């Protein structure tokens, strides 16, 4: 078996037949498609079973809902192919998508292929094709001096889809199941140190449905977990340090991300919990030996409190901010209504 295709599915009855049809009709035929039905409550599971009954290359595993990371990990455990690729249940691929990736990785002997993808919306907005910054094979050492800038501009290193990876490289790497956002990027941050070469495919044969939820359920997704995002960006910083490229624009880019998520972790916190949150963020930054700093009086003040573990002072600052914001809003309404009252 050459390629293992892993498809996590959660309540995608509207789309699942399309993508499974796309996979079934690939010009490259030596693949297995591992579908992980993540506790769907619609007819997605039944549709997947129908495809598996008609095509022996498809297999379905029905599991209790656990999120997209757990679903992908289950797929990785079952994979037997020489290479692995991830495809979301609501996306669309060209008939020669797998053939292109396979040809690229076999001819170049690279460790993985990174290809372009087109984001599309169902509300009529024009599609957007992601930038592929290089063409052909590059060593990871060649990519590292501009890694953070390229990721900031294109996001291409962190997309879960549009990649073909040697399965032996993923042997001990799994998605972090506690993450509900940016889990793809965190996974690849742990994979890239094992990668020596990447082939960049500039053609676009993968179409990514932008506004749909992830292909598996997101649990407790009411709010962004900013502490989790801070941890990811601290891992990002560690990745750059470990590879010897935590300097220049790489350092500026990742330090700005760390500062932003440290600030947002306090800004979006329940006010009564701010002292405890400041302590948690402070400990994370101290453990990583980084002093998060930013411009602007208010933001820099909050980060000063974080650096020095001044939870009560940060709480006072946030409550003062809330009062001033409320006064500003009332003043805006007063001016608005007085203007129309004079007309």
Answer with the one of 177, 209, 241 that is the final residue of a domain: 209
Q: For the domain that residue 89 is a member of, what is the CATH number?
A: 3.90.550.10
pLDDT at 305 over 70: yes
133 shares its domain with 244: no
- pLDDT tens digits, one per residue of 202-257: 999 999 998 644 445 444 434 789 999 999 999 999 999 999 999 999 999 999 99
Distance CA 306, CA 275 (A): 9
Q: Taking all residues of the chain, what is their mean pLDDT, rounded to a whole number?
A: 92
214 within some domain: no
**Are 21 and 126 found together in one domain?**
yes
* Closest to 27 measured CA to CA, from 80, 99, 91, 83: 99
- Could you write out the DSSP letters of every residue in 256-274? HHHHHHHHHHHHTS-GGGH
Dihedral over alpha carbons 113, 4, 187, 214 (to 10 degrees) = 100
DSSP-derived pairing of the beta strands 3-9 and 31-38: parallel
Angle between helices 226-242 and 147-154 in degrees, nearest 10: 140
Domain ends where: 178, 209, 240? Answer: 209
Query: Are 195 and 282 in a shared domain?
Result: no
- Distance from C-alpha of 195 to C-alpha of 135, rounded to nearest angstrom: 17
Q: What is the pTM of this model?
A: 0.90
Tell whether 341 is covered by a domain: no
In a domain, 221, yes or no: no
Mean per-residue pLDDT for 85-96?
97
User: pLDDT digit string (tens) for 180-208?
Assistant: 899 999 999 999 999 999 999 999 999 99
Residue 153 sits in the same domain as residue 182: yes
Q: Is residue 67 part of a domain?
A: yes
Looking at the structure, tell me whether residues 190 and 43 fall in a common domain. yes
Q: Which residues pair with 137 in a beta bridge?
A: 199
Same domain, 137 and 275: no
**Are 201 and 273 in the same domain?**
no
Whether 274 is covered by a domain: the verdict is yes
In this structure, are 182 and 240 located in the same domain? no
In a shared domain, residues 157 and 113? yes
CB 229 within 8 A of CB 267: no
Q: Are residues 175 and 278 in the same domain?
A: no
**Same domain membership, residue 133 and residue 57:** yes
Domain end, chosen from 150, 183, 209, is at: 209
In terms of residue numbers, what domain contains 238? 226-333
Q: Is 216 contained in some domain?
A: no
Indicate the number of domains in the chain: 2
**What pLDDT band is residue 336 in, cutting at 50, 70 and 90?**
low
Is 169 found in the same domain as 50? yes
**128 vs 292, residue with greater confidence:** 128
> Tokens 């998060």 appear where?
292
Q: Is residue 186 part of a domain?
A: yes
Q: How far is CA 221 from CA 11, 178, 337, in A?
A: 16, 12, 37
């Amino acid at each position: 078996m050459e390629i293992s295709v892993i498809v996590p599915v959660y309540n995608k009855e509207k789309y699942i037949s399309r993508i499974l049809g796309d996979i079934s009709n690939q010009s490259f035929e030596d693949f297995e498609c591992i579908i992980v039905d993540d506790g769907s409550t619609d007819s997605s599971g039944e549709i997947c079973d129908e495809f598996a009954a008609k095509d022996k290359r498809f297999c379905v595993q029905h599991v209790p809902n656990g999120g997209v990371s757990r679903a992908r990990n289950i797929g990785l455990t079952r994979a037997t192919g020489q290479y692995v690729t991830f495809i979301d249940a609501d996306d669309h691929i060209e008939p020669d998508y797998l053939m292109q990736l396979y040809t690229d990785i076999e001819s170049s002997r690279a460790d993985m292929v990174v290809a372009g993808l087109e984001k599309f919306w169902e509300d009529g907005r024009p599609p957007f094709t992601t930038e592929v910054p290089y063409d052909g094979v590059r060593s990871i050492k060649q990519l590292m001096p501009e890694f953070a800038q390229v990721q900031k501009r294109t996001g291409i290193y962190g997309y879960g889809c549009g990649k073909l990876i040697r399965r032996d490289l993923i042997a001990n790497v799994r998605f972090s199941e506690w993450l509900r956002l940016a889990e793809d990027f965190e996974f690849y941050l742990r994979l890239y140190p094992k990668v020596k070469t990447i082939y960049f495919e500039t053609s676009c044969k993968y179409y990514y449905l932008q506004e749909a939820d992830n292909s598996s359920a997101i649990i407790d997704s009411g709010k962004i977990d900013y502490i989790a995002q801070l941890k990811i960006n601290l891992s990002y910083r560690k990745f750059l340090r470990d590879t010897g490229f935590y300097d220049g624009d790489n350092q500026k880019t990742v330090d700005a991300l760390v500062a932003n998520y440290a600030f947002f972790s306090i800004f979006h916190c329940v006010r009564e919990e701010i002292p405890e949150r400041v302590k948690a963020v402070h400990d994370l930054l101290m453990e990583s030996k980084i002093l998060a700093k930013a411009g602007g009086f208010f933001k820099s003040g909050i980060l000063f409190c974080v650096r020095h573990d001044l939870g009560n002072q940060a709480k006072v600052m946030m409550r003062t901010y809330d009062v001033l914001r409320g006064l500003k809003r009332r003043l805006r309404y007063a001016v608005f209504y007085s203007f129309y009252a004079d007309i």
